Amino acid sequence: RSLFGAATLEDAQGEILQKRVEDFHKLADSLFDPHQVRRHHKLRIAAKHLRYAAELFALGEETDLPAAAKEIAAMQSYLGEVHDCDVWIVDLKRGLTSTKRRSLVNSERHAAIWLMSQFVRRRSKAFRSALELYDQWQVNDFLHRLVGDGQPAIETTGVPEPNRIET
């Protein structure tokens, strides 16, 4: 059934949220493999789309969607940090392994290696945060409740502010 074929606004909301949750679910198993860099980036984009849908439908009436949107924003932030670190790590690897740069002065080489280790550490912390949040979502059936299955109000997990990933 087409999203534009919905009989009511509530039906359209349900269909859109269901589609966004399905898109997220299709990629969520990538959280169990820290090396699936491309899928983690796609998962971040799916989280962004899910968050936008939750925020859009939170405007109309009294719902639990604003709290859910904050949870999803936290996931998106963690995955964004993972992606940013992945990009830096690849760039540093290229710089350290290119034939032109093999002649780097020792201090430059050591600085690049130190910087790479910092990005690896930040990535690990953000990845762990995303994985732990997803685990909480599974325990609380967060995504299933989001699409409105008649369960009580969405139970959020009380995640920290997404921009507070410490290094």
pLDDT tens digit string along 111-149? 999 999 999 999 999 999 999 999 999 999 999 888 875
pLDDT of residue 1: 45
Evaluate whether residue 16 is within a structural domain: yes
Torsion of CA 58, 61, 63, 68, to 10 degrees: 10
Evaluate whether residue 151 is within a structural domain: no
CA–CA separation, 42 vs 79, rounded Å?
9
pLDDT band at 165; cut points 50, 70, 90: low
Distances (CA, A) of 96 to 82, 84, 120: 21, 18, 15
pLDDT at 3 over 70: no
Evaluate whether residue 60 is within a structural domain: yes
What integer is the mean pLDDT of 97-124? Answer: 86
Percent of the chain's residues with pLDDT above 90: 59
pTM: 0.81
* Single-letter residue type at 158: G
pLDDT of residue 64: 77
CA–CA separation, 21 vs 137, rounded Å?
12
Of 85, 78, 82, 77, the residue nearest 115 (C-alpha): 85
Evaluate whether residue 26 is within a structural domain: yes
pLDDT at 154 over 60: no
What is the total count of domains within the chain? 1
Question: How is residue 52 written in tokens?
Answer: 């936008």
DSSP 159: P
Evaluate whether residue 72 is within a structural domain: yes
Mean pLDDT (the chain, rounded): 85
What integer is the mean pLDDT of 40-57? Answer: 95
Residues 125, 126, 129, 130, CA torsion sign:
negative
pLDDT at 152 over 70: no
Quick check: 155 and 140 in contact, CB under 8 A? Answer: yes
pLDDT tens digit string along 51-92? 999 998 877 666 678 889 999 999 999 999 999 999 999 999
Quick check: 47 and 26 in contact, CB under 8 A? Answer: no
pLDDT of residue 149: 52
Evaluate whether residue 153 is within a structural domain: no
Quick check: 122 and 81 in contact, CB under 8 A? Answer: yes
Domain residues for the domain of 103 are 3-146
Evaluate whether residue 154 is within a structural domain: no
Evaluate whether residue 152 is within a structural domain: no
